[in-house]
Amino acid sequence: MASIELRNIVKVFSDKRRGLLTLDNINLDIEANDFVCLLGPSGCGKSTLLNIIAGFEQATSGRTLVDGKQVERPGSDRGVVFQQPTLMPWLTAIDNIAFHLKLKGVAKAERQLRAMEFIDLVGLRGFEHHHPSEMSGGMNQRVGIARALLMNPSVILMDEPFAALDAQTKLEMQEELVAIWQKRRCTIVFVTHSVDEALVLGNKIVVMTRRPGRIREAVNFDLPRPRDITGPEFNDAKRHILALIREESTRLAQAS
């Protein structure tokens, strides 16, 4: 059974700033344990699509199913990692990670015990009692990932989570994310505008067009990991995806 099914998703915004038609008839099947990268230029609606799966926004028409169930509102079965860490600034790292357990009424001692496991997983031991304002952007983003993982969601939705990080931290985080995904086996939908990032992370790369957002092509990319980002297979795939994007911009240039 497909883990996520998007059927004829259309999203129309009524405010002028974002234009009218943002998503135009999106159809996509994401299988369980897929690592899908949504790749597209800014403003193509990829974040909107993610927000629809998360339940933050409603599609104007179409159906969104996660594990066969219609998505109506946000829920802890879908962990979201935001572009900015979006942690509760008044909570320490460990309390941020355990926040879901607190909402469920789990006792403090058990919360801390279970959150410590995720502190270790994202390599933040020693920083568990720091507040977000006392940590770097990369560390906060790790807390954001740990917080999503602790809920043990069947789907993790990530909206350009590494965009604000420096190149070196970004590489480390990408490697860690792949390691976590291999270890825990969950479905990840990862929004990015970087071709390289999509190729490093995904085993399915969904290339989207400029507004109105449509799916140009969904490329399966099963290069074994760790991936050699200078190898011929990587470069072939990159060439193919860049060609899709270039074709898109020429089409736009001719149209205008």
Partner 1 sequence: MTSVTDVSPARGAFRLTRAFQGLERLIVPALLIAGWEAFARSGMLPPALLPAPSAVLHALGDWVFGFDETTQTYSGHWLRDALASALRVFGGFALASLFGILAGVAIGWSRLFEKTLEPTLQMLRPIPPVSWIPLAIIWFGIADKPAIFLVFLGAFFPVLMNSIHGVKTVDHNLVRAGAMMGANGRQMLTDIVLPAALPSIFAGLRIAVGSAWMLTVTAEMVAVKSGLGYVLWDSYYFLRYDIVLAAMISIGLLGYLSDLGLKAIMAHALRWQQTTTVQGRAG
Binding site for partner 1 (CB under 8 A): 54-56, 73-76, 78-80, 82, 84, 86-91, 99-100, 102-104, 127, 130-136, 139, 147-148, 151
**CB-wise, 19 or 74, nearer to partner 1?**
74
Inter-CA distances, 97 with 48, 85, 93, 150, 162, Å: 25, 12, 6, 7, 18
Could you tell me which of 170, 124, 115, 120 has the C-alpha nearest to residue 147? 115
**CB-wise, 130 or 214, nearer to partner 1?**
130
- Shortest Cβ distance from residue 64 to partner 1 (Å)? 15
- Shortest Cβ distance from residue 23 to partner 1 (Å)? 19
**CB-wise, 105 or 224, nearer to partner 1?**
105
- Shortest Cβ distance from residue 123 to partner 1 (Å)? 14
**CB-wise, 189 or 195, nearer to partner 1?**
189
- Shortest Cβ distance from residue 151 to partner 1 (Å)? 7
- Shortest Cβ distance from residue 156 to partner 1 (Å)? 11
**CB-wise, 11 or 204, nearer to partner 1?**
11
